[in-house]
A and B are shown apart, each in its own frame.
Chain A
Amino acid sequence: MSNYYNMPKLPTADSPKVAIFVDDKEVLVPGDTNLLEALKAVGIETPHICYHPYLPVSGNCRQCLVEQEGPRGRMLIIACYTPVTPGMKIYTPASSARVKNARKATNEFMLVNHPLDCPICDKAGECSLQENYMESAHESRLRPEVGKQYHANPDHAFVDSKGQVRGGKRVALGPRVTLDEERCVQCDRCVRFMRHVAKDEQLQLASRGDHTYITTFPGEKLDHEYDLCVTDICPVGALTANHFRFQQRVWLLSRTPSISMDDSLGANIWIDHNNGKIWRIMPRCNPEVNRSWLSNTSRLAYMSFTENRLASGDLNVVSDLLKHAKKVALVAGGACTLEDLAALKMLKDYLGDRASLFGGTLRPVVEADGIAKSGDPLANRAGFKALGIPDNNLNDLMKHAADYDVLLTVHNDLFGDDEGAMILKKIPNRVILSAFNDETSKDATLVCGVNHWSEVTGTMINSLNILQKLSPAPTCPDAQLKPAYEVLSTLAGNPLTSAIAALQKVQEFVPALKPYSYENIRSTGVKLDGVLL
């Protein structure tokens, strides 16, 4: 494995089209990419194990072989490493028996030393090796009886009931990731991820030949904010996440596409759930936002989504309170969607001069890590700006806390984020709209539970000015709970009972968003180039 691998060039919408010949048929493909991506662009899938669009190409699995007509006749080449050149002649298994056999041979070679663990393997159902095997004829010439014996680390070896030496089934690489050395196909994706993306070389391929194995440096652990990404990119079940290991079969999970509302980059996620329970959060590929990566914080946050929740409050009491209030501070927080903010604005308009809008977060803004976090915990900051809601004036509120008699916060754990916010206890009536019974809610005079962001339909604008949509996962523990926009608009006397109505309200406030609806916002979002800011 060399330090000098280059990142693959991916096709874009502006890629020049060039003509190449695939199986003697002329097709137009993107001209500035590798053959694998080019064939994908015209609908020809090439099986691959080690290639990953966001990792440097190492070309070691040899699964993506195709034939190319060259000066010395037809040669087998790897599609992932071959740049597209105009007029090149390519042969895929559709026309070339040699390619078909070569791919099958590679698949066989990988399988001969791969245990038949599929029935107990967490990756089964989303395993590249399994998929390739299904494609390549369901049979093998090679016989597992002469498969290799385990000889990577003597401490991990054992003799199974058939007398085979095996081992390395549960190697704890670190606090979150477990390695099964037998299942590993040495694609070195995880090594490249740690080296080139995480920029912290914690994994390494040790030894050589068919006794190569993944390991950390002696005495070191795999421990990094992005270490769970290696379990996503592992093409087989070698690297598994402790939090998901043996929890669910992947084919029993439903996936909801959403946005992680803990950071202003708005990492795209899949919420994998069944029977009303979230089992894991996975990164959802978005080339412009988080690519295929997700931080551990965002990924593991789901564990507390349904814990410590608030029940829905009595809105009449809140209404009465607001009716008699002299001066109300309306505070918006990080996880507010555009819909929530629009409803908050409605409430401000309803209360008139008695109310003032505040927004922001007391959590520190840190530097972007360049992977999948912008470092800004106010997820919808661009949305605040678009709707004209202050995004950074909580200090003003704290300075003039004595002026107010009602505090109403939405999705903002002020007390939990910063002890200094305790000064707001000067405000006699504190109404908290939150999903959780957090520090702020505990000290509230009135609490009103609302839906968590994973349970609502909504939109947000991320730090790259991309309009992204959240979809609701059916995992809300309490059917009585309502989204924050519905609660707020009810208080404002004009209940928005659906997300569509709420989005229309957003569009009333921000006409530039008029063209967008939940249907036409793509899963990867819509770039708002110069539309708003």
Chain B
Amino acid sequence: MAEKIKVCTSNFGKGAQDIAVYKKLGGYANISSRLFDLSQFEVIDLVQRSGLRGRGGAGFPTGLKWSFVPRNTGKPVYIVVNADEGEPGTFKDHFLMTEDPHRLIEGLIIAGWALGSRTAYIYVRGEFLPCIESLNKALNQAYAEGLLGKNIGGTKFSFDIFVHRGAGAYICGEETALINSLEGQKGQPRLKPPFPAVSGAWKSPTCVNNVETLMALPWIFQNSPEAYAALGTACAGGTKVFCVSGDVKRTGVYEAPLGTPLMELLTSSDYACGIDGTLKGVIPGGSSCPALLPEECEKATLDYECMAGLKTMFGSGAVMPFNTTRDVVVLLNTLGNFYSHESCGQCTPCREGTGYAKRILNAIINGEGHDGDLELLLSIADQYNGTTICPLAPALGAPMTALIKKYRSEFEAYIEKNPNHGSPRICATYRPGAFW
């Protein structure tokens, strides 16, 4: 590709953590009459025209989400940045915030203006220490320059940003669990409705956005929403930051326009430089997305619609190819351990179901699988769908179903390792530390 437009990652490696460098690279140009001359509705309209969709995984149109936030309720509007990046395989937000924290701040100021908010919280995963350091430094610089605080740019607009460290629970990436955790309650999802846009943090209208979503805003304002929309596909505009890990020659964070063929991301010298070994499958959007077989990868493009057509998800952009040396059963077992460990324990199908699936997967791995276990796992995965409060259990169910269906012979080979696989189960004997 002749010239690649980078929306979020253009400042990588240029020392943009420093406000002087960031400003020299064109940063904070939007925090001027360019933004303050627009009304709130014009800003939201502009974001809607850009076709920007949430980059956290669900892909909800950002402008639409903002338009749901009610005005004049007498309550403050909060903006919460979901930087609790916990999906296995995803690491883009970490780099985005470490390398270019000012772009997030600029994006937040734009969002704050659009939503009439005066307080934002950045809920950062607690383990991201360099990232938190970088953010706090950037915030101090922005306050010192008068870009945050009271009466920004001589207007009546005041805006504060606080960094809040999470404690490392995956479920706190779910927006209502995140809000609970932010408030100091146990990080468990709330029942919906009401959605956070109406009643979120402290029962006030709250907009929860992903880091990458907000970081696209400065570019959209600097250029134009149409230019951003033109980068992507018909249904969703712009570029996406992909985290490529696994069996490729060069792993890392790559920004590519939506609609880029999956194989180009994996093999192009601009991106991952090729597969290491023979491709066996690709997890296209983070651990909760069903894996694609090599033949499906050939026709896959990186956008919401194509992924939905292949019965998987675009997700958070964590592309994880694995080669023929990898054991799919071990992969699924790892997922089972992860999701059952991260289940918040609130609703029954997830609390009991993920643990149950995990114990069966553990048994299969340990050569104690039995005939019928796979059907049982498939039926359990089916029972996660639509019965839970939040999508954590379906996030295990979807890859479980796909992996068992697509690589069934490997699972059967494991089960056949058990000499008694045809007979009914007997009570497992106690092995210290076997499950925990």
Q: Which residues of A contact B (CB under 8 A)?
A: 1-5, 49, 57-63, 65, 75-76, 81, 101-102, 105-106, 109-110, 112-113, 141-143, 145-149, 151, 159, 162-165, 185-186, 205, 207-212
Q: Contact partner of A141 among B349, B379, B436, CB < 8 A?
A: B379
B383 located at the interface, meaning its Cβ lies under 8 Å from any Cβ of chain A in the complex: yes
Taking the complex as formed, is B359 at the interface, i.e. its CB lies under 8 A from any CB of chain A?
yes
Looking at the complex, which one of B203, B347, B386 makes contact with A60 (CB distance below 8 Å)? B347
Closest Cβ neighbor of B425 among chain A residues: A145
By a CB distance below 8 angstroms, the chain A residues around B344 are 208-209
B48 within 8 A of A: no
Distance to closest chain A CB from B400 (angstroms) = 15
Question: In whole Å, how far is B372's beta carbon from the nearest beta carbon of chain A?
Answer: 9
Q: From B339, which residue of chain A is reached at the shortest CB distance?
A: A209
- Which of B169-201 touch A at CB < 8 Å? 169, 180, 183, 185-186, 188, 190-191, 199
8 new A-B pairs (CB below 8 Å) besides A76-B387, A109-B351? A4-B190, A5-B191, A60-B346, A105-B387, A146-B359, A163-B427, A164-B427, A186-B346
Partner of B352, one of A59, A113, A165: A113
Given the interface contacts A209-B341, A209-B355, does A62 sit within 8 Å of B347 by beta carbon?
Answer: yes
Complex alpha-carbon distance, A59 and B176, angstroms: 15
Contacts A60-B347, A60-B348 known; A145 to B383 CB distance under 8 Å? no
**Cβ–Cβ contact B351 & A212, under 8 A:** yes
Residues of chain A within 8 A of B380, CB atoms compared: 105, 142
Check A62/B345 contact, CB under 8 A, given A2-B180, A4-B203, A145-B425: no
Query: A57 to B191, Cβ gap below 8 A?
Result: yes
Q: By CB atoms of chain B within 10 A, which of A110, A145, A151 has the most?
A: A145
A142 CB contacts on chain B under 8 angstroms: 356, 376, 380
The answer to whether A62 and B388 have CB atoms under 8 Å apart is yes
29 A-B pairs within 8 Å (CB atoms) are namely A1-B186, A2-B180, A3-B185, A4-B199, A5-B191, A57-B191, A58-B191, A62-B389, A75-B386, A102-B386, A106-B387, A109-B349, A110-B348, A113-B352, A145-B426, A145-B427, A146-B359, A146-B360, A146-B425, A159-B430, A162-B427, A163-B427, A165-B430, A186-B351, A208-B344, A209-B340, A210-B340, A210-B343, A212-B351
What string of 1s and 0s marks CB contacts (under 8 Å) between B212-234 and chain A? 00000000000000000000000
Question: With A and B bound together, what is the CA distance between A112 and B383 in angstroms?
Answer: 15
Tell me the complex Cα distance, A145–B369, Å.
12
| A210 and B428 in contact, given A2-B188, A109-B356, A146-B356 (Cβ under 8 angstroms) | no
Q: Shortest distance in angstroms between A360's beta carbon and chain B's nearest beta carbon?
A: 47
Cβ-Cβ contact count across A and B, 8 Å cutoff: 131
B105 to chain A, nearest CB (A): 30
Q: Could you say which residues of chain B place their CB within 8 Å of the CB of A164?
A: 427-428, 430
Distance (Å) between the CB of A299 and the closest chain B CB? Answer: 30
Roughly how many angstroms separate A375 CA and B359 CA in the complex, as a whole number?
53
* B residues whose Cβ falls under 8 Å from a Cβ of A: 169, 180, 183, 185-186, 188, 190-191, 199, 203, 340-349, 351-356, 359-360, 363, 376, 379-380, 383, 386-389, 425-430, 435-436
Question: Is there contact, CB below 8 Å, between A62 and B387?
Answer: yes
**Closest residue of chain A to B176, judged by CB?**
A2
Cα–Cα distance between A65 and B389 once the two chains are bound (Å) = 12
List 5 tightest A-B contacts by C-beta distance, closest first: A212-B345, A105-B383, A210-B355, A109-B352, A163-B430
What's the Cα separation between A60 and B428 when bound, in Å?
A: 30
Q: Is the CB–CB distance between A105 and B425 below 8 Å?
A: no
CB distance from A434 to the nearest CB of B (A): 52
Q: State whether A102 and B359 are in contact (beta carbons under 8 Å apart), knowing that A113-B352, A207-B345, A208-B344 are contacts in the complex.
A: no
* Min distance, Cβ B192 to any Cβ of chain A, angstroms: 9
Residues of A within 8 A of B388 (CB): 62
- Hey, which chain A residues are within 8 Å of B185, CB to CB? 1-3
Q: Is the CB of B353 within 8 A of A109?
A: yes
In contact, B343 and A209 (Cβ under 8 angstroms): yes
Q: How far is the CB of A531 from chain B (nearest CB, A)?
A: 43
Chain A interface secondary structure, helix, strand, loop or mixed? loop
Closest residue of chain B to A207, judged by CB? B345
Hey, which chain B residues are within 8 Å of A75, CB to CB? 386
Query: Roughly how many angstroms separate A62 CA and B376 CA in the complex, as a whole number?
Result: 20
Which residues of chain B have C-beta atoms less than 8 A from A76's C-beta? 386-387
Q: Give A201 Cβ to nearest chain B Cβ, in Å.
A: 12
Check if A141 sits within 8 Å of B376, measured CB to CB. yes
Measured CB to CB, the nearest residue on chain B to A164 is: B430
Cα A296 to Cα B73 in complex, Å, equals 44
Query: Could you tell me the distance between the alpha carbons of A81 and B351 in the complex, rounded to whole angstroms?
Result: 20
Q: Which residues from A are CB-within-8-Å of B203?
A: 4
Q: How far is the CA of A151 from the CA of B340 in the complex (A)?
A: 14
Q: Are B340 and A149 in contact (CB under 8 A)?
A: no
Cα of A4 to Cα of B180 in the assembled complex, Å? 10
Please name all residues of chain B whose beta carbon is closer than 8 Å to the beta carbon of A141 when the two chains form the complex: 376, 379
* Cross-chain contact B345 with A102 (CB below 8 angstroms): no
CA distance in complex: A148, B435 (Å) = 9
Residues in B whose Cβ lies below 8 Å from that of A4: 190, 199, 203
Chain B's nearest CB lies how many Å from the CB of A196? 15
Nearest CB in chain A: distance from B406 CB, A = 23
Please give, as numbers and ranges, the residues of chain B lying within 8 Å of A149 by CB-CB distance. 435-436
B345:A211 contact, CB within 8 angstroms: yes
Nearest chain A residue, comparing its CB with the CB of B344: A208
CA of A530 to CA of B351, assembled, Å: 53
Complex Cα spacing A187 to B426, Å: 30
Q: For the complex, what is the distance from the CA of A279 to the CA of B388, rounded to whole Å?
A: 40
Known contacts being A3-B185, A186-B345, A210-B340, is A110 close to B352, with CB within 8 Å?
Answer: yes
Q: Check if A109 sits within 8 Å of B348, measured CB to CB.
A: yes
Contact among B183, B354, B379, B389 for A209, CB-based, below 8 A: B354
Nearest CB in chain B: distance from A133 CB, A: 14
Min distance, Cβ A166 to any Cβ of chain B, angstroms: 10
Assuming the A-B contacts A59-B389, A75-B386, are A148 and B355 also in contact, with contact meaning beta carbons closer than 8 angstroms in the complex?
yes
Whether B343 pairs with A102 at a CB distance below 8 angstroms is no
B363 to A: closest C-beta gap in Å: 6
A149 to B185, CA, bound (A): 27
Known interface pairs A141-B376, A145-B425, A163-B427; A106-B345 also in contact (CB < 8 Å): no
CB distance from A54 to the nearest CB of B (A): 18
Residues of chain B lying within 8 A (CB to CB) of residue A211: 345
Cα–Cα, bound, A208→B199 (Å):
25
Contacts of A209 in B (CB 8 A): 340-345, 351, 354-355
Q: Identify the closest chain B residue to A110 (Cβ).
A: B348
Given contacts A2-B188, A102-B387, contact A112 B349 (CB under 8 A): no
Which residues on A sit within 8 Å (CB–CB) of B354?
Answer: 209-210
Residues of B within 8 A of A210 (CB): 340, 343, 345, 351-352, 354-355
Kindly list chain B residues whose C-beta atoms are within 8 Å of the C-beta of A3: 183, 185
A233 to B389, CA, bound (A): 23
Shortest distance from the beta carbon of A353 to any chain B beta carbon, whole Å: 67
Residues of B within 8 A of A1 (CB): 185-186, 188, 346
CB proximity of B435 to chain A, nearest CB, Å? 6
Q: Which one of B199, B340, B355, B436 has the greatest number of beta carbons of chain A within 10 Å?
A: B355
Nearest CB to that of B343 among chain A residues? Answer: A209
CA–CA, A124 and B352, complex, Å:
22
Nearest to B435 among chain A residues (CB) is: A149
Closest residue of chain A to B351, judged by CB? A210
Contacting residues, chain A, for B190 (C-beta < 8 A): 2, 4
Give B271 Cβ to nearest chain A Cβ, in Å.
35
Q: Report the separation of the CA atoms of residues A117 and B294 in the bound assembly, to the nearest whole angstrom.
A: 50
B426 pairs with A208, CB closer than 8 A: no
Cα of A109 to Cα of B388 in the assembled complex, Å: 12
Which residues of the partner chain B approach A63 to less than 8 Å between Cβ atoms? 348
Within 8 Å CB of B379, what residues of A?
A: 141
CA distance A61 to B350 in the complex (A): 10
